[in-house]
């Protein structure tokens, strides 16, 4: 079932506007290219609405936000809504500072997102549920596990209903949920947490998948999450004894570049509830 | 003929001031080092004139411009002109927004550039010719081909005359033109388009070549374009089955690092008209 | 003796706040992860004090400073002092512009640093000693050598006394000095100078080592310097004929990722005076 969503990215090669952090921006651009789409980065209020307009999708990531870029995020998000474009929010570090929490909440209030993707602590913060964000990583106390899976799904579906967005909560177990349906995804490898920005990269790639598949945001987002996790698995198998997190980073993007729709179809591990 | 231009970069190891975008800045710094020069990045108006002064060449790239950095670009460009330094303009995304188009035009009006390097859509926009910029990539409708080559050369020579700069239009076929002479360069590989920032990297490296060879800007720019394309070829041959765009990015910079003047001499594919 | 300092980084996995330049920020984040700690990057005054507060250590790098981020550096540094956190200063390019020199000096005046790490030209500038900074690289005239080693150690100890910080001067020979004791470190490889940001990476990693070993800042900083140099050696041995500075960059971070405490213990080359 996942095959077609990647096919469509490659066929349509959508142009994706990214307002993202300067830490992982290069990897975000390269993974968007790797999956078959094209990135453009622009974050100044004097141009963002125009850039959003010439693009087909938008990815907003608050990883290194400031007053200037927050304004650009709001302008772009509203313009994308006007145009009916797919929009992703990555609320990096929501909960780590009032600025991040408030900005993420304000974005959710003022912009209609197609997908909100974060770790469990960020999403809980955004939902106003007590969370324990530790910097930009999820707190272990919050982690989705087999034990609290039903509860986590119920939470994600509730937040999907509240926001109208597909909610993607990624971690050891990934959840991608609409208000009615949940994909529980088992792809990925723990070593992905040792690279900065695999989450940012996934958000950027999700924007590409959504834009190429606008009629099926839940499935497109689930396909992007499966693809990222599968790339993490393929890249991990490729590691030699001397390779570490830096080579792993390259191999993951390489795996996205080389991933065939058939490979995604066969490698995707998910369950629907 | 190309050999000597690389020799001079390695001999003189010029210091290059870069005001460039945060997407590809790390690759720009590493490729400047790889070719034998040294980079310094600084973009605040409170220091850019001083930084330009201690450097020997300047590279201005508008990829993620904003009010603050636009001011810095103008100050640095004028200072470099005063000092007689080589200056490169990379008008990333000119045509994609009024801010980019107007900033690029203003820079060309107020600063004398040694080389202006962009894709065909960006250069057409800058020349006031109807272009069809699609984000930061050239539009296929604009692409230089065997069919429109004479026309493209005439355009580039005209724009070189108008601006006093060497015009470098890169794509499947690369043109490097003064008002009288055109280098038509056949190096490169299509896969280079699947990496973010090969154009940005080329602009930064061009600044190094120009600075090391100030008497021959046309030839130095042509040599840099050949070197980048040749690196793309060498790196492509090195790709294994599992490598994708991320490893390719590393291999291109590696190829610049290892490129001998003799290798450039033998590998450069060009014609002069 | 070095073994335990790395052990502690892995055991405690400290969260490190980095206010750093956009050129090498991705490598800084990945090396912090590679050594066993966690990075968070945040540079806006509206959140930096909060981010410093949730972290356990702070790294300030002035590589692409501007008015907005300078203010953030001062706020974070003071907050870290209040909280008793370890703080590193990397005065990138001090001496290259008045803005850099004055900002670095102001930071040293207003913030108590645990470690100040730079090349010899930057540290001399900061100490008010005539230096010959050339961009962001040390001037050869300043370089620490066997001939001027005693003098350099005396200078570093004097500056350590004056600032109350451990002074780390890195180059072909690395010095890590308190007012009473000097580590003279022989690890490293000349090719490290052909990668942008090995100094920035070392500063970020030093913050992780210090934070995990707050009682022994001199030894922890020396251990970080040994680890970085040793990684440069290990990565250099791994280079194949086609590898250049870009692959080398990846291999260094990989070597930090794979480094065992025993490997550091055996590979560290230092003398104490």
Give residue-wise pLDDT tens across range C186-216.
999 999 999 999 999 999 999 999 999 999 9
d(CA B172, CA B174): 6
- CB of A253 within 8 Å of a chain C CB? The answer is no
Q: Where are the beta strands (DSSP E) in A62-212?
A: 86-90, 115-118, 166-169, 174-177, 182-185
d(CA A44, CA A54): 15
* Bridge partner list, C118: C169
β-strand C182-185 against C174-177: which pairing, if any? antiparallel
Percent of chain C with pLDDT over 90: 94
The confidence score (pLDDT) of residue C136 equals 73
C39, C238, C252 ranked by CB distance to A196: nearest: C39
Q: Which two structure tokens, joined as six digits, stand for A95?
A: 């909960």
- CB of C135 within 8 Å of a chain B CB? The answer is yes
DSSP secondary-structure letter at B194? G
ipTM: 0.96
Farthest CA pair distance, chain C: 51
Query: Are the C-beta atoms of B209 and B223 separated by less than 8 Å?
Result: yes
d(CA B130, CA C53): 54
The confidence score (pLDDT) of residue A81 equals 98
Q: DSSP states of B95-136 as a string?
A: TTBHHHHHHHHHHHHHS--SEEEE-HHHHHHHTT-----BTT
**CA nearest to C245 within chain B:** B254
Low-confidence ranges of chain B (pLDDT < 50): none
Give residue-wise pLDDT tens across range C100-114.
999 999 999 999 999
Give residue-wise pLDDT tens across range A237-249.
999 999 999 999 9
- The torsion angles phi and psi of C198, rounded to 5 degrees, stand at -65, -30
B65 chain-A contacts, CB cut-off 8 A: 44
- Residue in the block written with tokens 């001090």: C94
The confidence score (pLDDT) of residue A129 equals 85
Q: Per the CB < 8 Å rule, is B26 touching C24? A: yes
**For residue C17, is pLDDT > 70?**
yes
d(CA B71, CA A31): 32
The confidence score (pLDDT) of residue C256 equals 98
- Residue in the block written with tokens 């790395």: C6
Low-confidence ranges of chain A (pLDDT < 50): none
The confidence score (pLDDT) of residue C72 equals 98
Q: Per the CB < 8 Å rule, is B99 touching A44? A: yes
CA geometry: angle A156, A158, A162, nearest 5 deg: 115
Is residue A16 helix, strand or coil? strand
The confidence score (pLDDT) of residue C168 equals 98
C64 chain-B contacts, CB cut-off 8 A: 41-44
Give residue-wise pLDDT tens across range C167-192.
999 999 999 999 999 999 999 999 99
The confidence score (pLDDT) of residue A139 equals 73
The confidence score (pLDDT) of residue C144 equals 93
In this complex, how many residue pairs, one in chain A and one in chain B, have their CB atoms less than 8 Å apart?
100
Give residue-wise pLDDT tens across range C34-87.
999 999 999 999 999 999 999 999 999 999 999 999 999 999 999 999 999 999
DSSP secondary-structure letter at B256? H
């Amino acid at each position: 079932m996942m095959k077609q969503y990647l096919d469509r990215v490659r066929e349509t090669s959508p142009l994706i506007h990214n307002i993202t952090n300067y830490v992982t921006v290069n990897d975000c651009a390269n993974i968007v290219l790797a999956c078959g789409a094209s990135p453009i980065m622009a974050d100044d209020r004097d141009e963002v609405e125009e850039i959003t307009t010439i693009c087909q999708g938008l990815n907003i990531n608050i990883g290194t936000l400031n007053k200037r870029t927050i304004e650009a995020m709001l302008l772009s998000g509203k313009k994308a809504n006007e145009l009916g474009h797919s929009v992703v929010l990555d609320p990096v570090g929501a909960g780590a500072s009032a600025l991040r929490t408030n900005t993420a909440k304000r974005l959710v209030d003022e912009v209609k997102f197609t997908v909100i993707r974060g770790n469990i602590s960020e999403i809980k913060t955004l939902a106003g549920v007590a969370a324990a964000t530790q910097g930009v990583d999820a707190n272990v106390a919050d982690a989705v596990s087999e034990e609290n899976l039903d509860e986590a799904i119920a939470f994600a579906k509730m937040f999907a209903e509240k926001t109208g967005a597909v909610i993607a909560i990624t971690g050891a177990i990934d959840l991608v949920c609409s208000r009615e349906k949940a994909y529980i995804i088992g792809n990925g490898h723990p070593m992905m947490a040792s690279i900065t920005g695999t989450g940012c990269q996934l958000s950027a790639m999700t924007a590409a998948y959504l834009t190429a598949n606008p009629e099926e945001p839940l499935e497109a987002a689930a396909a992007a999450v499966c693809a990222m996790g599968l790339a993490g698995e393929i890249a991990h198998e490729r590691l030699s004894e001397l390779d570490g997190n830096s080579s792993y980073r390259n191999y993951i993007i390489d795996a996205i570049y080389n991933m065939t729709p058939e490979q995604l179809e066969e490698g995707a591990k998910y369950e629907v509830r």
